[in-house]
A and B are shown apart, each in its own frame.
Chain A
Amino acid sequence: MSRLMASIRSTWEHDPRKDPNELVYVLLGIGALVFPLAVQVATRGSGSFLISQAADAGVYVLLAIGLNVVVGFAGLLDLGYAAFFAIGAYTYAFVASDHTEFTPIHQAIHIPFWIALLVGMFAAAGAGAVLGAPTLRLRGDYLAIVTLGFGEIVPRLFRNLGDWTSGVNGISALDTPTLPVWLNGPWSGDSLQLVQNFKIIDPLAYYVIMVILVAICIVLVSNLRRSRLGRAWMAVREDEVAAAAMGVNTVGVKLLAFSIGAAFSGFAGTFYGAKLSLVSPENFGFTVSITILIMVVLGGMGNIPGVIVGSLLIYYVIFNVLPGLPNMAADFANSIGAPGLNTPSGEYPGLSGEVQRLKFLIFGLILVLTMLLRPQGLIPSRQRAEELQKGVHEDTVIEDLNAETT
């Protein structure tokens, strides 16, 4: 009996599904706390833009955590993830602005931000369920194609349903989120100016809310991963036939993964719309879907801290490093005493122009190199790391024995 107890205790302690990444979480946590301070100090108080950008990066972190449930946990390839992001953002535009007054509804709707977050989440999850229910019955490859199509259709619908969405112009002047009135604190006065009349104005406020939302999502998704459902996803990803024979409703659990992923995307979309106060069909194209997928794969599919690090890194590269690259190149040419490189001549647009032209090629090269050097992602889950070792270890023992018997 005591042997059984000891055995159980060691199980709770060495569960292979436990994230081996406490250190990453601690570092991320400290980073999130220190970041606003450090930025303000480094920029002598004018770091609002960077803090606002960090809050935007948080949107991508949410998106990546959500897509990780679909791709990393359940092994479903979703190539149209941005569609749910768009649905979340447009949902906010519909339920929290004067816009609906100019649609056939003729009545403005203003739902508080916090409730709108849930509305956006459920709208996207619903869309996910409707799309997934027929598709997930088919073989895995179909899902990739169907989601790819869905990702193309949704922004197009928002662009072309002019009566409802004001088409290419998008919808602007969305409500500024407010803190719930009962939530009193230093921010409810004007002295701090983070929040005026309970309105959330300062980027720092968005940043703080984003950090809290991300933290909550990390806890929830980690719980999922270590639950009955998380185990079922893993099993379905490995061997659907065996999982079904062991009593897992494979279509059901895949549908749940797909909808939960969509819910995250809708949630992030609502926040995004609210912060930007604007939605436009151009912001949700295929590149967004692919960017999020890259974040997940490069960070370490299936592993939450890996996915977070991946999304922050890619966000930083796309929105800070790449735009700055042309100037960096020009400065570099000057500093090595070759300013001639910067002079445009004929077809040649000067070094910065050339780099501007090639920056996505450079981005692509960085990605290819990273994946070649670390195919399992930056911080992979233990399983993924093992799976990618498959070719290295010997499988032949088992196969030989099977061969003997047949």
Chain B
Amino acid sequence: MTVEATAAPILRIDHVMKRFGGLVAVDDVTFDVKRGEIFALIGPNGAGKTTLFNGITGIFPPTGGRIIFDGREITGAKPHQVASFGIARTFQNIRLFEYMSSLDNVRLGQHCRMHAKLWDSLFKTPAEHREEQRVTERAIELLQFVGIERHTHTYARNLPYGSQRRLEIARALATNPSLLLLDEPAAGFTPQEKVELMGLVHKIVDQGITVFLIEHDMKVVMGVSRRIVVLDHGEKIAEGTPDEVRRDKRVIEAYLGTQH
């Protein structure tokens, strides 16, 4: 169903560390994400999952280790550079541009793929006009793709919760990524909505985009991912297929230990 994962990893996390003062949020974590797969990162609260995403996307650069994307080391790159290399993300606590329309949110996502210079913008050159038109068309396609085209002209903040999560995905896709990081995309969803969202994730992978998602709820992830990494207290405690992970002793402990 999905594009076959090829041998060369698209993302390599190599002994990555992240300290916040005395706290080690990510502790010497190593794994690969293969091209074309749906890869999942799970773990209890505070395990360091979001911190790892922040490290990959340059928001809080790691304090140790290397991150290699598409064969190139991107450790310490600025967030906008990471985006232009082809890694897009969504945020666990939705970070849309609330007072911009859905359309503008998605158009903004295309910023780093646009060519208009200051001069073009000042004088509305024909090239700029064409580019804006193209970007608008693409934005509407993406809104249709995630299924929220009826909210095209609504301010992002006025969208229903589920549509906001979808808009964030559309905005991330607008950067034309080859790797999409989703931080708990189904958080707060009903089981029905979760199923629909996983359908969307499959549609994204079918377009040749690798999806790397964080999920809190182990059950959701079991259905979509072939490979899973489990973090606990910043450490990688397991890696493997859903079945292997489910039977892993440390995973069971970690989950039972936090879920009282």
A383 to B184, CA, bound (A): 29
Q: Say whether, besides A223-B121, A244-B78, A245-B57, A228 and B111 are in contact (CB < 8 Å).
A: yes
* Interface contact B140-A11, CB-CB below 8 Å: yes
B116 at interface, CB cutoff 8 A: yes
With A228-B114, A242-B96, A398-B161 known as contacts, the answer to whether A386 contacts B175 (CB < 8 A) is no
Report B-chain residues with C-beta under 8 Å of the C-beta of A17: 104
Q: In the complex the two chains form, is B116's CB within 8 Å of A14's CB?
A: no
Complex-state Cα separation, A117 to B36, whole angstroms: 56
The stretch of B26-34, B64-72, B86-94, B195-203 that contacts the partner chain: B86-94
- Using a Cβ cutoff of 8 Å, how many contacts connect chains A and B? 146
Instruction: Knowing A7-B149, A16-B104, A229-B118, say if A248 contacts B188 (CB, 8 Å).
Output: no
* Contact A227-B128, Cβ < 8 Å, known A248-B111, A387-B99, A398-B161: yes
Dominant SS among interface residues on chain B = helix
Which of the segments A29-37, A206-214, A230-238, A366-374 contacts the partner chain? A230-238
Cβ contact within 8 Å between A228 and B216: no
Q: Is the CB of A223 within 8 A of B80?
A: no
Bound-state CA distance A10–B216 (Å) is 40
- Determine whether the beta carbon of B108 is less than 8 Å from that of A16: no
- Please report the C-alpha to C-alpha distance between residue A287 and residue B121 in the assembled complex, in whole angstroms: 33
Q: A245-B89, A387-B99 are in contact. Are A230 and B161 (CB under 8 A)?
A: no
Residue A246 is within 8 A (CB to CB) of chain B in the complex = yes
Chain A nearest CB from B98 CB (Å) reads: 6
Taking CB atoms and an 8 Å cut-off, the chain A residues in 193-234 that contact chain B are: 220, 223-224, 227-232, 234
Greatest chain B CB density within 10 A among A16, A228, A229, A244 is at: A228
Are A4 and B122 in contact, CB atoms less than 8 angstroms apart?
no
**CB-based contact B112/A247 at 8 Å:** yes
- Is B78 touching A7 in the complex (CB atoms < 8 A)? no
Q: Is B137 an interface residue (CB 8 A)?
A: yes
- Within 8 Å of chain A (Cβ to Cβ): is B2? no
Beta-carbon nearest neighbor of A224 in chain B: B121
Chain B residues near A256: list those with CB within 8 A. Answer: 118
B121 touches A248 (CB 8 A): no
Q: Are A242 and B95 in touch, CB under 8 angstroms?
A: yes
Alpha-carbon gap, A381 to B191, bound state (A): 40
Q: Which residues of A contact B76 (CB under 8 A)?
A: none
Check if A241 sits within 8 Å of B104, measured CB to CB: no
| Contact indicator A248/B80 (Cβ below 8 Å) | yes
Any chain B CB within 8 A of the CB of A243?
yes
Number of interface residues of B (CB under 8 A): 62
The residues of B that contact A14 with a CB separation of less than 8 Å are: 153
Q: Is B225 an interface residue (CB 8 A)?
A: no
B5 located at the interface, meaning its Cβ lies under 8 Å from any Cβ of chain A in the complex:
no
The smallest C-beta distance from A140 to any residue of chain B, in angstroms, reads: 17
How long is the Cα–Cα vector from A8 to B135 in the complex, in angstroms? 11
Point out the residues of chain A lying under 8 angstroms from B187, CB to CB: 401-402, 405
Q: Is B226 an interface residue (CB 8 A)?
A: no
- Contact (Cβ within 8 A) A228 B116: yes
What is the minimal beta-carbon distance from B11 to any residue of chain A, in angstroms?
Answer: 16
Name the B residues within 8 Å of A383 (CB-CB).
Answer: 99-100
Nearest CB of chain B from residue A15's CB, rounded to whole Å: 8
A257 to chain B minimum Cβ distance, whole angstroms, is 11
Q: Any chain A CB within 8 A of the CB of B109?
A: yes
Give B174's nearest chain A residue, CB to CB: A246
Question: In the complex the two chains form, is B153's CB within 8 Å of A239's CB?
Answer: no
Once the chains are docked, how many angstroms separate the CA of A320 from the CA of B97? 42
* A224 smallest CB distance to B (angstroms): 5
| Nearest A residue (CB) for B45 | A406
CB of A16 within 8 A of CB of B153, answer: yes
The answer to the question of B178 belonging to the interface, with a C-beta cut-off of 8 Å to chain A, is no
What CA separation (Å) do A223 and B129 show in the bound complex?
A: 11
22 examples of A-B residue contacts, CB within 8 angstroms? A4-B141, A16-B101, A223-B121, A224-B122, A227-B132, A229-B121, A231-B107, A234-B108, A235-B100, A235-B111, A243-B97, A244-B59, A244-B83, A245-B59, A246-B111, A247-B83, A247-B84, A247-B112, A248-B80, A249-B78, A402-B188, A404-B188
List 8 additional contacts besides A223-B124, A235-B108, A246-B112; criterion CB under 8 Å. Answer: A4-B144, A227-B116, A227-B120, A228-B114, A228-B116, A245-B59, A246-B108, A249-B78
10 closest A-B pairs (Cβ-Cβ)?
A247-B112, A227-B121, A247-B83, A244-B79, A401-B188, A405-B187, A242-B95, A383-B99, A238-B97, A249-B80
